[in-house]
Structure 1
Amino acid sequence: MNNEANQQPSSLHFLDYWRVISSRKELILAVAFLVVLTGTVYTLLLPNIYASSSRILVSEDSPEINPFAVQQNYMSTYNPYFLRTQFEILTSKPILNEVIYRLNLQSEWGKNNEILKRDIALKILKNSISVFQQRDTSLIVINVKRDNPDEAADIANEIAQVYRDSRLELASKSAREAIDKIEESLTEQRQRVANAEENIQKIREDLNIAVVGGEGQFDVGEVRMQQLEGDRLFAQREMVEKEGLLRILEDLNDKDLLERASYITFDQFVMNTIQQIQDIEVNLSSVQADYGDNHPEVKRLKSQIVTLEETLKKRLSALRNGLDTEYIIAKNNFESLDKVLASVRTDTIESQGAKFRPYRNALADLETERFIYNQLMSKHRQEIITLQVPQNPVDIIDVAEPNMQPVSPNLFLNVLLSIFVGLGAGVGLAYFIEYLDTSVKSADDLENQLKLKVLGLVPQKVRPLIEEGPDSENAESYRVMKTNLSFIANENEGMAHCVLSSGAGEGKSTTVFNLAYVAAQQGVKVLLVDADLRRPVQHTILGMSNRFGLTNVLLRDVPVEEAIKATSIPNLQFLPSGRLPRASLGVLDPRKIRELVQSLKSKYDLVFIDTPPIVGMSDANIIAKEVDSSILVVQYRKYPLNMIRKAVETLQAQSIDIAGAVLNNINVMRDDYYYYYQSYYSDYYQRDDDDAEADLI
């Protein structure tokens, strides 16, 4: 049983938590009201925010041209992460800075005609926009929230326009650079054709050769020379192609080479590596948005991208070196064929005569240069026409329009959130105050913490029963207290009890009066003694004089019989405290108190003594030492438990018998634990009154 009693205080029930909320509901409601009021006022003071949205349809770009490739490869693969990449591009600094420039937002957002800093304007703009994909489509919604509906619509439309322009510019920039390289080669080739024509004209004039409209007979040597000439032309074209592509690669830095690698070369390893980098970058964007930069998965993906880019750089470098080698081989092949052809041509010309040899060589050179020039010209025109074909990777589907209905602040939502936050803060504050409150809150604290028996529970705002009447609903509390005292103290005839309290203002005087009142009602001869010499109140309750009393008896001025006065209450007599002289503060002598108590016990059935507080005075200890038992009055939620424990320890150190404790001034409306106890007796006495009235009627 003892173990169970010791373990019981440590276990908390749900009702214990509810009791805290119920006892401090005024505080909780006050905090909730203040939070709701603050949230409502703050919401009403916030400016209205308007939202406008534009929708765009995005598609992937076609690959860039390869001017020296025999056949263009325009095969494209589906990229499931393409739209996520475009989300990041739409909110990137280049796009937003261009929007700020076009709409002159730095001046619009500046105060007092001042120009707002670009980084601040960029931050404001970025916080004002949100980009998301419309489900199961390739549509991107650009949503802008601003305090001006027209400004929100303009920004949404301008972002879509700037994004479309940037996509078109990026798609055509690389193609134009490649066409510019072809134009440079055309200029050089045109000059070479002109030089070859001038050379032929000069040879004709020098050798006085007349050109007729047909070719003569060719021998075996001339046929061989024509075959070599064809091989030389093919080798020369291959060399020029390799040279042009090599020039393009040499003009690109590492970053541009990585971006355009998939269009310059169709190496399968390069294509696969680029696809892996794109997939990892899209995955990195998603993971980085969810977990942040310091997450291990983010670091691992970044490391993979760096590794793949290094591998790709090495592969492209190898391809560049390979192309350089191929160019050298083609050049050497061309030079070798040129030397062989020159040798055959020399032999042929020598066989045909020295006169036609220079002319034939010049004519062959001219045909070669013209063939190369025509091939470049044809390719140049083809790619210009292809570039001029309309291509639009971004279509604006819906243009943003001003929305005059504000989307925030949401008064209903903010008030609702304020209610929840206020209630949560109030409950938290209530539990925090309850944690700091070390006063006595229940009868369990008296029994478990102070090891005192509980004689009775007294509700709040109880007045002396002489004012409320014998049929008061509060009188039953004192009857229960009187009964418990009789059982605990083994009450016989001639018993003396003193009523104590650890501090002032705990309801000790009212308790001892009402206890004497109910005892007198039961037919017991009772004497009420006011021993609180410094702050007597019993004479005020009874409406009697305090001129003579206990002080005069102890000073031997008057006999005790003359100091005791009869009251208007049957069976109840009263010994007031009397006026205490300034020079007689030590009037409570233990011997005199002992003699007086013994004398009064012999004359009365019960003697109730009202004493001063225990803490700070020795009067209560002197009186309690000489009576049969002591009753400790503890006010509900007033003094710290440690203070009351010190008072109890002081009494126990002097071997003073404490019959029990009374928990006084309980707020039954705030604490459900005592509410049902009080309401039961209240209803009981109310029914008795109603029955009595019915009988009278």
Structure 2
Amino acid sequence: MNPSSPQQNEAALHAVDYWQVIKNRYGIILLTLLLVFMTAAVITYVMPKKYESEAVMELKAQGMGMTPFGGNLEFQTTGNRMSPQFFGTEFEKIKSSKSLYKVVEKLELANKWGVDKSVAVQILKGIVHTENTRGTDLISIRVRHTDKDDAKDVAEEVAKAYKEYRFEIESRDAEKGLHELTKAVQDQEDVVEDNRKLLATISKTKGIIYRGQDSYYGQGGVDEDSAARSALETFNQLQKEEMQLKSQIDSLLKIDSDQLMVTAAGLDLPDNIIRTIYPQYMEAQRGLETLKLTGLGDRHPDILAAKDQIASMKRQLDEGVVTLRETLRTKLNMASNSLKSVESMKESTRAEAINRGLAGQDYVDAKRELESSQTLLESMKLKKIGVETTLKMTQESIVIHEDPQVSQSPVSPNVTMNLVLGAVVGLIFGVGIAFFLEYLDTSVKSLEDVERYLQVPVLAVIPKDVGVLHKQSGMSPDAEAYRILRTNIEFNRKNPEDNAITVVSGGAGEGKSTTLVNLAYICAQGGYTTLMIDADLRRPRLHTFFDINNSVGLTNYLTTELMLEDVILQTPVDNLYFMPSGILPADAAGILNSRRMSELIQDVKQRFDLVLVDSPPILGVSDASVLASEVDLTMIVVQHRKLPRNMLLRVKQAVENVGGHVIGVVLNNVDVRSDSQYQYYTSYYTYYAPAESQIGPPVGAASAPSKPQAEPRGNDSELY
């Protein structure tokens, strides 16, 4: 597994991790909060006090006066009406240089403030603030200044100056509008007069009498188109009658005489004898049939007389039919002639009407133009009267509803707001710094960091501020962490014969020596004969834990012919032995990298169950690397949140480069109370907390004997 790949794909922090960062760096957060809060307090204290005065006024749209005839003036332009940009425009007018220049002159601010007038105007632009009251036509003019009287006077004069400035603009616009309207009325009067003269000329030329809306040719008031319409109506009526008569006659002339006789008997036509004779003829026919029914023969005188009468009537009817045919043809010809006559009259009457219409078109146009111009002139005169009357009326487009007052208390700076804002900003800034430092911090923070980057197990998590165990009560909960360490060492040793372990660290102050002493103490308590060798020939510390003189020790044994019994001392703790460092040499690495040192390690491995070798920091000096190559196993002590991950990798590589074997890592000085992720590993603090009756007196430190107690293991010369 590539140890650098996790650095490129770190998991995102969840809510618990964020809270953990805040807990771990609460000092930075509180310090930042305090600094920002104090800065806000100091700035608030040194800021000058400002007082505010306010004038409230009502704004009306420009020129929206009422005419005496009712309604708004119609000659206004759209720009004068209330628009969404109206208040913004007026605010700019209030703070315009022309308006504020009047304030400077009225209050003599240039002399009072000791600046030029232009500078005074710029100062006013900075202290004058305008605002519209939502949903109303009211605006407020607020002025903030260090002098309460100046704030009141400036607010009052700004309102007055704006009112005068706007009145001048409105008056100028109104006078200009009235002038233009008067000129337009005069021009319109000239147009009306010209139209009247043109109409009079056309009337005389065309012979048309003008009487307002009623005008006519000649006398009688006859409409020039009435004759044409009458002729057209007569022609249409005759044409309809002619068509009906022609159809009727054509049908009568096509039938035979007998059928025509029957049909003609029902027609109401002049000189129609058939209508009189035909009923008599039919009656005579029925009389003949009656006589025959009485049994009279064809030669009977009555039968013969009846037949003669019927024959006579038949001749009269035939003659009547001939006469009727001629009458119908004559009547059809007369209807056609009448229709032609009326059609000729219609055409002539229509032509005359068209000529008269064309002749009077100029008159109609001139009359319409005159009437339209007169109507427009009357409307313009009415508007002119309204404008003149409106200008004479007193109008106020600005009404001041609230005069500015002298403020009794400053409005700036807002102490409460500034301090609250400072606290909030300080808190946010502090949290931001904490997370930024957490982002930049590449030190080891968790067990997963160690195992991910070093690929070795974490043997134990040592809580923060753990003291020296052999000077405390034997029931101290701190000892459990080292019991866990002892157990993990046993189970992580692949070879039971690998009992020589050196304890290294990347830098100084990571708790390496304390970890070694406490581990040795716990192992001795567990029945292991344990030897501690102080091989830190740069800054030895192990002798200080037992108040032992280190003038004779490891260096003496390696450089002289001293016996092993002369440099190994027994501590006040059973089964626990100690070899001091001895006199510090000039070449520590050279002494440690010697054959006698290798023989020493092999010798003590046979005499003791566990040999723990203290070494200097492995980064910067070569002593620890030499020791790692001599012993069986190397245990790395890493202080929580101190050593960067890349440096931790170098520690492991330094051990492996000399052939050493890293058994695991001890994560030291962990604040288990703030880092909640380690509470699982340190739950024994509560579980193993002893009762007060169980706590015995601490084990006192006794002076070590000059030689360790030796017990025979195979022969009398071997030491445990």
Structure 1 residue 84 displacement after superposition: 4.1
1:40 counterpart = 2:41: yes
Matched residue, 1:657: 661
Larger displacement relative to structure 2 (637-646 or 512-521): 637-646
Matched residue, 1:689: 692
Unpaired runs of 5+ in structure 1? 186-237, 245-325, 342-376
Matched residue, 1:615: 619
Structure 1 residue 647 displacement after superposition: 1.8
Larger Rg: 2
Q: Which amino acid aligns with 2:613?
A: I
Structure 1 residue 30 displacement after superposition: 0.5
Q: Which amino acid aligns with 1:148?
A: D
1:486 counterpart = 2:509: no
Structure 1 residue 76 displacement after superposition: 6.8
CA contact (8 A) 1:95 1:162 kept: no
1:165 counterpart = 2:164: yes
1:465-484 aligned within 5 A: 465-484=469-488
CA contact (8 A) 1:64 1:175 kept: no
Q: Which amino acid aligns with 2:31?
A: A
Matched residue, 1:307: none
Matched residue, 1:132: 131
Matched residue, 2:544: 540
Match 2:415 to one of 411, 419, 431? 411
CA contact (8 A) 1:107 1:116 kept: no
Q: Distance in 2 between matches of 1:175 and 1:676?
A: 88
Q: Which amino acid aligns with 2:41?
A: T
Q: Distance in 2 between matches of 1:585 and 1:8?
A: 40
CA contact (8 A) 1:95 1:159 kept: no
CA contact (8 A) 1:64 1:174 kept: no
1:166-315 aligned within 5 A: 166-176=165-175, 241-242=186-187
Q: 1:671 to 1:242 in 2, by over 3 A?
A: same
Structure 1 residue 428 displacement after superposition: 1.1
Matched residue, 2:281: none
1:305-344 aligned within 5 A: none
CA contact (8 A) 1:458 1:662 kept: yes
Structure 1 residue 573 displacement after superposition: 1.0
Structure 1 residue 404 displacement after superposition: 1.5
Q: Distance in 2 between matches of 1:126 and 1:91?
A: 10
Q: 1:526 to 1:109 in 2, by over 3 A?
A: farther
Matched residue, 1:143: 142
Q: Distance in 1 between matches of 2:530 and 2:383?
A: 129
Q: Distance in 2 between matches of 1:500 and 1:333?
A: 124
Structure 1 residue 388 displacement after superposition: 2.4
Q: Distance in 2 between matches of 1:378 and 1:658?
A: 110
Query: The residue matched to 1:477 in structure 2 has which SS?
Result: helix
Matched residue, 1:521: 525
Per-residue deviation, residues 376-403 of structure 1 (Å, max 9, x unmatched): x999999766532222222222222223
Larger displacement relative to structure 2 (575-584 or 631-640): 575-584
Matched residue, 2:99: 98
Q: 1:179 to 1:25 in 2, by over 3 A?
A: closer
Query: The residue matched to 1:160 in structure 2 has which SS?
Result: helix
Structure 1 residue 414 displacement after superposition: 1.4
Structure 1 residue 651 displacement after superposition: 1.6
CA contact (8 A) 2:525 2:574 kept: yes
Q: Which amino acid aligns with 1:603?
A: R
Matched residue, 1:273: none
Query: The residue matched to 1:419 in structure 2 has which SS?
Result: helix
Q: Distance in 2 between matches of 1:73 and 1:243?
A: 20
Matched residue, 1:641: 645
1:439 counterpart = 2:437: no
Query: The residue matched to 2:592 in structure 1 has which SS?
Result: coil
Q: Distance in 1 between matches of 2:548 and 2:604?
A: 21
Q: 1:492 to 1:597 in 2, by over 3 A?
A: same
Q: How many residues align?
A: 514
Q: 1:603 to 1:100 in 2, by over 3 A?
A: same
Q: 1:676 to 1:585 in 2, by over 3 A?
A: closer
Q: 1:23 to 1:107 in 2, by over 3 A?
A: farther
Aligned-residue CA RMSD (Å)? 4.1
Q: Distance in 1 between matches of 2:546 and 2:632?
A: 26
Structure 1 residue 426 displacement after superposition: 0.6
Structure 1 residue 425 displacement after superposition: 0.7
Q: Which amino acid aligns with 2:411?
A: V
Q: Distance in 2 between matches of 1:182 and 1:444?
A: 91
Q: 1:2 to 1:181 in 2, by over 3 A?
A: closer
Structure 1 residue 547 displacement after superposition: 2.2
Structure 1 residue 480 displacement after superposition: 0.9
Matched residue, 2:23: 22
Structure 1 residue 92 displacement after superposition: 2.3
1:462 counterpart = 2:469: no
1:512 counterpart = 2:457: no
Q: 1:61 to 1:570 in 2, by over 3 A?
A: closer
Q: Distance in 2 between matches of 1:497 and 1:65?
A: 107
Per-residue deviation, residues 92-145 of structure 1 (Å, max 9, x unmatched): 27755333433448953678x632352x43343233333333343333333333
Q: Distance in 2 between matches of 1:550 and 1:72?
A: 114
Q: Distance in 1 between matches of 2:408 and 2:433?
A: 42
Per-residue deviation, residues 50-98 of structure 1 (Å, max 9, x unmatched): 23222222323447999xxxx9964779987447414422432775533
Match 2:672 to one of 668, 671, 685? 668
Q: 1:86 to 1:577 in 2, by over 3 A?
A: closer
CA contact (8 A) 2:52 2:145 kept: yes
Match 1:582 to one of 586, 590, 596? 586
Matched residue, 2:109: 108
Q: Distance in 1 between matches of 2:135 and 2:54?
A: 18
Larger displacement relative to structure 2 (536-545 or 491-500): 491-500
Q: Distance in 2 between matches of 1:402 and 1:28?
A: 44
Q: 1:407 to 1:583 in 2, by over 3 A?
A: closer
Q: 1:54 to 1:599 in 2, by over 3 A?
A: same
Q: Distance in 2 between matches of 1:557 and 1:640?
A: 43
Q: Distance in 1 between matches of 2:502 and 2:158?
A: 88
Q: 1:559 to 1:22 in 2, by over 3 A?
A: same
Q: Distance in 2 between matches of 1:603 and 1:596?
A: 11
Task: Give the number of the structure whose residues are more often helix, by fraction.
Answer: 1
Match 2:457 to one of 424, 443, 453? 453
Structure 1 residue 46 displacement after superposition: 1.9
Structure 1 residue 444 displacement after superposition: 1.9
Q: 1:105 to 1:384 in 2, by over 3 A?
A: closer
Structure 1 residue 624 displacement after superposition: 1.7
CA contact (8 A) 2:589 2:622 kept: no
Matched residue, 2:310: none
Structure 1 residue 493 displacement after superposition: 6.1
Q: Which amino acid aligns with 1:92?
A: K
Identity of aligned pairs, percent?
36
CA contact (8 A) 1:53 1:143 kept: yes
Q: Which amino acid aligns with 2:115?
A: I
Per-residue deviation, residues 647-678 of structure 1 (Å, max 9, x unmatched): 21122233321110011122334433335655
1:347-366 aligned within 5 A: none
Q: Distance in 2 between matches of 1:8 and 1:178?
A: 77
CA contact (8 A) 2:461 2:681 kept: no
